[in-house]
Chains A and B, each alone.
Chain A
């Protein structure tokens, strides 16, 4: 059955979409969105979607409330109805409506706005996984899924109906029949698998600003690839003179120092691919970020050799992003460009600052591989 309101609803979504699109460049540059990410959706503040009126600023207005407390006592956060925009001030960004946009939708918008081609998959093998969804309440089930509140409520209900409830001594004892359990269903989820292998140079010359750029950019890469592949894994490698695999959090927050041996990362990347991600079942996307200041020409040669022989033949696309830093001379991207620049599944991008992220995403994803 379709509801009449769906027309208005999709019109609303269309407007929201338009607003996001119009502001996409701004959103891309700002890291704040990433912090607001939920499981499947992200909250985006949309400016100016509500209807302006002549009205009072809520903060100036105040109001009447109800409850305990001395004069002068602060009301806890969330106690006061947010009213219409908190600030009575002049800021334009004031009246923003927070809209939940699914990552799926965000990816679509990103794709449209950057005119990203859809990725051509190397393999279409479907892997089916199952997912548990809790759908309701049942009178039977395993004890671990017992719903305590419902159980006690049922017991209370029965005792009152039977007249055995004593208000003076409110003891509730559930019997077997009172027990309620959460019930679930298994759902099949078809998946096409892909893996992103993030590599980052964490040598002394990569500062906080450079890492922030990597963090923002990887969010968008994640979002896009997740839109293309339902099952997406991510692996993280940091390196200075040596490389090691870390978790996501460490990846973005480690501070190391010392020299840079990019080959160490590529070696680890190659090993991971060969061990865990056979070409027949996986779409593989290594992304490497560095300021491009490698230890030696010799090491660079090793990198290129490894790329040519072991990495490129086994991945959908290899991407290298060179983040400008105050120290980096940035030779590495030039070397790569000379050596493998013509290879179709290599994407190279220079990222001067946050403003450049937008274009860089296109460099990386624009090939549709």
Chain B
């Protein structure tokens, strides 16, 4: 199992740690552990954690990582967990220069985890929490049986992305308004106002009062089923409303909590990887690198920054954006005067010698996520310099091609890919659809259709948790469609939107 650092590496760690502090990085204590490549693949398959609940997909992940490593296609260099203390892994077989680079990179991540607002509500004891989850799931496995538990996890994972990705923290408690309604509905049913006491039996016969009471009760029941507003956190809705066994609720809650824990990492991928890369590059080239290490460093660094035409490399895009922001704030290339200047030569030579770049990027790393980061700091000049383009699939030629280099389109496509982490937005709009206890979901269509076969399979899984028929309204080819699974049959009908 993981080993602590050799004295030599410990000394290097102290050295890099010193540089990181010197540059003003601010992080939790960071523990480095040495692992073999096999252990590295395992930890990576577990999403960085030493222990996870048992499930085959970690095995699948592990198989793919190991294969990638063995074939020399990929290699995991850095792995760091958002936890207090942060944990990071170093691969034993790596040369010293790589270890230094990884350490510098890791301190960048740790600074980001500690300071960026998206992580403020994450559980900083997640290592322990994950281990607890594992224990709980294992205990259910012992009690309920591995097949059943695994099957339930499979089905729940199918719904894992149906959380409120951008809510900054998990809402564990139900809406307080519901509690209020609960109080209100407990008021006694009074019946009509009675002037003369002897008339009471005639004006408010007991059958009438009973039926009124029943109505209130029904109303209460129904209100309980309905989400008052469309609810993005489908997992929470299921947790509160689906007729689940205790063990099912427990596992669902575990998976939901883990999904929420990982959500901020998805929302700050470009910033975070860019930030870590910016710092490894700064620390290495300004301080830590020895002459004889330059080749290997450059080789490794450029490998990480490599791009291919049909994909965005978050490391590359991120580091370039951070550098661009730093330069702009150093030279004063922002604000009204800059925006309104259309003299190209003046713009090119613009340098107000503000020197505020470093300060600015530290501020930005605190208050932004990928969406606001790109939205605020991606400039037309930058997009052109970085040669960004929009690509799409051309059915006629059966190939991918460059569609556009226009700034607005590039930016909006980039943002679209980041919204809700590139996942469709789906909400529960009715938990008692047609008054038959069916669930109705709505897909907020933003111009992209759902993948049909996947949607039907997912619906099937949702139904198995909800136990009543489930429906989703979406759009295919610009026409409203309601997909339905009633437990036996998949149906599809047109709906007006």
Contacts and interface: CB of A to CB of B under 8 A. Distances in A.
Contacts, number: 217
Contacts of B1: 1
Given A95-B454, A160-B292, A60 B387 contact: no
B38 interface: yes
A42 to B, nearest CB: 14
B393 interface: yes
Nearest to A90: B452
A45 to B, nearest CB: 15
Contact of A53 (B67, B158, B311, B317): B158
Nearest to B162: A54
Contacts of A89: 452-453
Given A3-B38, A66-B388, A95-B453, A71 B404 contact: yes
A186 interface: no
Interface stretch (B13-21, B52-60, B360-368): B52-60
B451 interface: yes
Given A52-B458, A62-B403, A64-B413, A11 B392 contact: no
Contact of A54 (B59, B295, B443): B443
A67 interface: yes
A272 interface: no
B10 interface: no
B413 A62 contact: yes
Given A49-B60, A64-B389, A160 B295 contact: yes
Interface stretch (A78-86, A247-255, A335-343): A78-86
A63 B310 contact: yes
Contacts of A74: 394, 397, 399-401
B461 interface: yes
Best-surrounded residue of B59, B294, B405 (most CB of chain A within 10 A):
B59
Best-surrounded residue of A11, A97, A100, A157 (most CB of chain B within 10 A):
A11
Interface string B33-54: 0000011001001100001001
A80 B158 contact: no
A160 B294 contact: yes
Nearest to A158: B292
Contacts of B449: 56-57, 60, 88
Contacts of A78: 308
Interface string B415-430: 0010000111010000
A52 B401 contact: no
B157 interface: yes
A72 interface: yes
B62 A9 contact: yes
A10 interface: yes
A62 B400 CA distance: 8
B219 interface: no
Q: How large, as a class, is the contact surface on chain B?
A: 35 or more
B312 A64 contact: yes
Given A79-B400, A80-B400, A157-B292, A66 B307 contact: yes
Interface in A228-250: none
Interface in A120-176: 153, 156-158, 160-161, 163
A92 interface: yes
Contact of A67 (B160, B307, B397, B401): B307
Best-surrounded residue of B296, B316, B458 (most CB of chain A within 10 A):
B458
B389 A8 contact: no
Contact of B424 (A8, A56, A70): A56
B461 A69 contact: no
A67 to B, nearest CB: 4
Contacts of B472: 54
Q: How large, as a class, is the contact surface on chain A?
A: 35 or more
Interface string A6-41: 011111111100000000000000000000000000
A67 B38 CA distance: 35
Contacts of A68: 387
Interface in B461-475: 461, 472
A94 interface: yes
A75 interface: yes
A51 B157 contact: yes
B448 A60 contact: yes
A91 interface: yes
A301 interface: no
Nearest to A1: B1
A90 B453 contact: yes
A3 B158 CA distance: 27
B59 A11 contact: yes
A309 interface: no
Contacts of B414: 64
A81 B310 contact: yes
Contacts of B413: 62-64
Contact of A5 (B46, B160, B400): B46
Given A53-B454, A65-B402, A69-B402, A161 B310 contact: no
A72 B394 CA distance: 10
A4 B51 contact: yes
A160 B295 CA distance: 9
B313 interface: yes
Best-surrounded residue of B55, B56, B399, B455 (most CB of chain A within 10 A):
B56
B361 to A, nearest CB: 22
A3 B450 contact: no
Nearest to B299: A153
Contacts of A8: 45, 54-59, 62
B454 A79 contact: no
B453 A54 contact: no
A19 to B, nearest CB: 12
22 contacts: A9-B62, A53-B458, A54-B162, A54-B458, A54-B472, A56-B422, A56-B449, A63-B413, A64-B312, A64-B388, A65-B309, A65-B312, A67-B387, A73-B402, A84-B451, A88-B451, A90-B453, A95-B453, A97-B60, A156-B295, A160-B291, A160-B292
Q: Which 6 A-B residue pairs are closest in the complex by CB-CB distance?
A: A80-B310, A12-B59, A52-B457, A62-B392, A9-B59, A8-B59
Interface of B: 1, 38-39, 42, 45-46, 51, 54-60, 62-63, 67, 150, 154, 157-162, 291-292, 294-296, 307-313, 316-317, 386-394, 397, 399-405, 410, 413-414, 417, 422-424, 426, 443, 448-455, 457-458, 461, 472
Interface of A: 1, 3-5, 7-15, 48-49, 51-57, 59-81, 84-85, 88-92, 94-95, 97, 100, 153, 156-158, 160-161, 163
Given A56-B422, A56-B424, A66-B387, 9 more contacts: A5-B59, A8-B45, A53-B454, A54-B454, A55-B450, A64-B389, A65-B391, A77-B399, A95-B454
